[in-house]
A and B are shown apart, each in its own frame.
Chain A
């Protein structure tokens, strides 16, 4: 793969994916600029994770194009797949850490298995990644002995130890409370600034995504119905954007209406 340093790092066009009769991605297209944080928003079940897996080569799309540095990606081509995976990392919703390996061994794993580096050099780089993620004091601990936030940072340390150009984040804040959600997005923004990788995040957390992203896109019924800067998203009059963005306000007004009508009070009784 050649490396032209201009234009979007990743460009997706007409991406389609169906499981039997169920169409998940109908016609997805967007472009991710180098060094940006691009967030794909959408409700649960919208196909965000499937989209990410298609881009990372975990799922084979049924159609469409994915261009990485203007070169079309074909994951059936082994050399191309390996080259792409050397330059990208993937952060899983559940972290996907190896529970039988220590924190240091988890971070060292990709270097150990994909590079000819010496054991000493691998350990040095892995320790450096742990230090940058403020986990060097926990190098000998197993993932199960770490807190949820530490596990997230450990997964990020493993993702960045190979110095990837792009990191895919699959629902990085799933199941976390608002404070921890803030912390995770702050962590992504901080380390993205430090390491300079391009981040592609899929999430349904609107507030945090708007605060941390360079560009947000909304996935709705298998298509990207909006893509733009966070302030454009916040001001958009697009009905789907509005309903997704204003869903807490809508919930509040529905509940108020129900209270006024006595529905909730009756249910309590």
Chain B
């Protein structure tokens, strides 16, 4: 019992150390990787443009629901005029960075883990190393750097669409004056709210893409699974760990910044 607990703990600590080294090596490769801007551009396309529809749809429905729920809660206290403040602060401080990150994990993160897992399986990663190409620099660095741009941009888009969704349900369906709604938004959101949103988006981006890349890159280390099953297990692990990491990091950042 004690031995297995000890072995489990050592395994987890070793895993964290391996992850930290993986990220450090990938970021260290920024200066030695050739033609990095083109690879970053491709990663921005993969993570950004491909995930655009899901961000727009989820952002819109989140705003619509916040508008509805917020209206009925505020209506009890006769404070419907604060609907814009409620929707905007909920989105900016909490929902947009978390939900956008979870959507990006589901779409871009899982795709990344599966792609790297297959590349590991078919010896493409080893082939890069034997060609003298830094596999971290070629495969991981551009994705990590792209995430630092894509996650904040997608979060901002999520906020914008969510605010519009909130105004649709609040103003068009429930009769809140649009002018009151938007002026409430303007008055409520301050620079530090935006700063918190940005910090969360950047952290979630680096964390989730790092975790997904790490899991896919090391798909061959999955215990008791090889080939397609190892890729499948690595992808599942990537999505689950990333999602938990987003929520845990959200709590930590919120506790420090609030």
Report which A residues bind B (CB closer than 8 A).
Answer: 53, 56-58, 82, 85-86, 88-90, 92-94, 96-98, 109-110, 112-114, 116, 158, 162
Contacts and interface: CB of A to CB of B under 8 A. Distances in A.
Nearest to A83: B132
A112 B133 CA distance: 10
B124 A110 contact: no
A58 B131 contact: no
Contact of A98 (B33, B124, B129): B124
- Between B33, B123, B129, B132, the greatest number of chain A beta carbons within 10 A of the residue's beta carbon is seen for B132
Interface string B111-146: 000000001001110110111110000100000000
Contacts of B34: 112-114, 116
A85 B131 CA distance: 6
A159 B124 CA distance: 13
A78 to B, nearest CB: 10
Q: Which 6 A-B pairs have the closest CB atoms?
A: A96-B127, A85-B132, A90-B130, A96-B123, A113-B133, A110-B131
Nearest to B35: A112
Given A113-B131, A114-B34, A162-B131, 19 more contacts: A56-B130, A57-B129, A85-B132, A88-B130, A89-B130, A90-B130, A90-B131, A92-B126, A93-B123, A94-B123, A96-B122, A96-B126, A96-B127, A109-B131, A110-B132, A113-B33, A113-B132, A113-B133, A114-B133
A95 B34 CA distance: 24
**Most chain B beta-carbon contacts within 10 A, residue among A56, A89, A98, A113:** A113
Given A94-B122, A96-B122, A114 B132 contact: yes
B126 A113 contact: no
A85 B129 CA distance: 9
18 contacts: A53-B126, A56-B130, A57-B130, A58-B129, A85-B132, A86-B132, A89-B131, A90-B131, A96-B122, A96-B124, A96-B127, A98-B124, A110-B133, A113-B33, A113-B34, A113-B35, A113-B133, A116-B34
A67 B131 CA distance: 20
B186 to A, nearest CB: 45
